[in-house]
A and B are shown apart, each in its own frame.
Chain A
Amino acid sequence: MSDQSASNGRISHGSLMVADPRTKKRNASEARFRAYGIIAISIGVLFLASLAFSILRSGLPAFTQYVAELEVTLSQEDYDAAESKMLKTAAYTDIFIQNFSDALDERGVEVAYDSDAIERILGKVGGDIRGHYRENLDDIGRPVTFQLQTSSRVEGYFKGRVDRESLVDSRFLVKTDLDIIDALTEADILTSRFNWAFIKGTDAGVDNPGGAGIGAAAIGSFFMMLVVLLLSLPIGVAASIYLEEFAPQNKFTDIVEVNISNLAAVPSIVFGILGLSVFIQFMHMPQSAPLVGGLVLTLMTLPTIIISTRASLKAVPPSIRDAALGIGASKMQSVFHHVLPLAMPGILTGTIIGLAQALGESAPLLLIGMVGFVAREFPDGVVSGFLDPNSAMPAQIYTWAARADAGFYEKAWGGIIVLLAFLLTMNIIAIILRRRFERRW
């Protein structure tokens, strides 16, 4: 019998203790593949780390602000005297300088300065102080601590953008000012603090990078996301359920399907042009409004949501549909009671990916007028939040990055950190929701 099988061409396998050439080759190729994988992941991690590092290094300074802190007490006589003068702010500047030199004497700091130097370092202090007292008449006669923001160049000096060697004297800053700044820092009059104004503030003019904040743009982004979520989730999910579960298979649904995939690949700027011509020029919706931005981004997000929802509906095992139908559930009951809950985690993932894309989109917003410099004030309420001109975070970042002053460059990086924080929060919410909906079958 064994002779017969051998003559039938049985292959000799040899010893199991020695790897044959074929096995060696196979093992070597597997080892190579693993190495490629590790290399690919390392490169990815490296890129990510350098990206995170450069963002944090360039962006974190935007969250710090340098202010001069000085206590001023203004008597009623001083107020009346200053208000009766022709150059009122100049009078307040004098009062400030008086208090300023007192403070310096008190702390034993000796440094030469004049009112021009003060203006170069702290801006128009007289105006700031007068503005405060005219708003708060009760503060007259009481000690008030003023926190006066330093000018962009001075911040640049603190943050290393401006140094003593390369500084060319100009009407913005001269070399001797740096001595004053050093002395004030020594005396704890100039201090750094967390820049809440950056998070809570609005965009400022091109000459005032220090005053620019991303708050208004963040509100704009928030209202846009609200529009996107409220429109694209129900429309997208309803469309996918219909296409996946109810629609007949024919030429028309085939065309619809192909075009949904096509839409997902359309560049976002095309949606911007579409929004401009349809929503603004044809339907006369307000320019630069988060509502319009939300509509444009909804168009952009819909294909993503539909594709991912359909994929997750398809992934629900058909046995669950059969089970429901076999008991006598209607098609709709089987979909809404059984299929949809099982597809929920996938739908949520798709929705969050779509929203994240929309949150980070700037090109279509620029076309419908949601450019950064529009975000100069906060909306008054919900309606004005949707309809009043505003910007969105990515557009704001783009506008800042395009401005000349190095202070804005720093703000742009800071804006990116805020944007990423928003995205991270959204992803965390998505993960939590997904965990809650996830069920085994």
Chain B
Amino acid sequence: MNDMRIVKRDVDMNDIKISAKGVQVYYGDTHAIKDVNVEIKDKTVTAFIGPSGCGKSTFLRCLNRMNDTIDICRVEGSIQIEGEDIYDKRVDPVQLRAKVGMVFQKPNPFPKSIYDNVAYGPRIHGLARTKADLDEIVEKSLRRGAIWNEVKDRLHAPGTGLSGGQQQRLCIARAVATEPEVLLMDEPCSALDPIATAQVEELIDELRENFSVVIVTHSMQQAARVSQKTAFFHLGNLVEYGETGQIFTNPQDPRTESYITGRIG
């Protein structure tokens, strides 16, 4: 397995976006992530799969340092984005999060208007000089979020009044409005019905053109549908990482095989 990854790294060296080496995460005394090495390519959808509590969300949250907000959480090892260590002392996590956007499991629009939800990021990062600029960013982001047609007539209605699927697409639009380079999605469809899920999945595929997308999901079918690369986590270990097709059809590790065939997890 290790040999395989070395081969891959040589091949993909040019467009590696995120590279994690020897990442360890501790919650107090609990060792949540054990020595994870992974390289995430640009303009690719990478899926993290694994049973509940395997550490995939924890690892995802390391990529934009959201774990900093948890007092007892400690991260070791190195995570580099385009060769820069994001856990370096000089890195401001706020600046990092503008570059690495995040969409959460539960749709969490601000209790403000749809427009203000999307405009908030560009406003605090100073991305728009004039009202017209801002309008343009909001429209572009809502179009990217595949929700523009549904909300264009009620931009000033509250974002919390939308349906669950619309709220999640609004959150995606809000995340892309700050022009991140990487988009992290933590089980973005787990609170949605199949139709909304299909819409979001379609959207993820479109987002791949501009962003590197990392998605955590419980659904193996979803991983198979949307991702090009898949990483399987189990009990804090990264068991297997490779092309999605290969992971699902020809897993190298017996644990991966047991999981995708439904024997564990």
Contacts and interface: CB of A to CB of B under 8 A. Distances in A.
Contacts of B95: 328
Interface string B90-115: 00001111110111101011110000
B113 to A, nearest CB: 11
Contact of B97 (A320, A328, A439): A328
A326 B185 CA distance: 11
A320 B110 contact: yes
Interface stretch (B45-53, B118-126, B194-202): B118-126
Interface residues of A, number: 22
B153 interface: no
B104 A326 contact: yes
A322 B124 contact: no
B66 interface: yes
Contacts of A249: 71
Interface residues of B, number: 29
Given A248-B71, A440-B160, A326 B175 contact: yes
Contacts of A248: 71
Interface string A400-429: 000000000000000000000000000000
A327 B175 contact: yes
A329 B110 CA distance: 13
B247 to A, nearest CB: 28
Interface in B168-208: 171, 174-175, 178
B14 interface: no
B94 A328 contact: yes
Contacts of A319: 104, 106, 108
B190 to A, nearest CB: 14
Contacts of A440: 111, 158, 160
Contacts of A338: 110
Contacts of B104: 319, 322-323, 326
A98 interface: no
Contacts, number: 71
Contact of A327 (B69, B71, B120): B120
A320 B108 contact: yes
Contact of A322 (B66, B99, B125, B160): B66
A322 B108 contact: yes
A115 interface: no
Contacts of B174: 323, 327
Interface string A304-339: 000000000000010111111111111001000110
Interface of B: 64, 66, 69, 71, 94-99, 101-104, 106, 108-111, 120-121, 124-125, 158, 160, 171, 174-175, 178
A-B pairs with the 10 shortest C-beta distances?
Answer: A328-B98, A326-B102, A319-B108, A441-B111, A328-B97, A327-B121, A323-B108, A439-B111, A330-B94, A249-B71
18 contacts: A248-B71, A249-B71, A319-B104, A319-B108, A322-B102, A322-B104, A323-B104, A323-B174, A325-B69, A326-B66, A326-B175, A327-B120, A328-B99, A328-B124, A329-B124, A338-B110, A440-B111, A441-B110
Given A323-B109, A323-B110, A328-B94, 10 more contacts: A319-B108, A326-B102, A327-B175, A327-B178, A328-B95, A328-B124, A329-B121, A329-B124, A440-B158, A441-B111
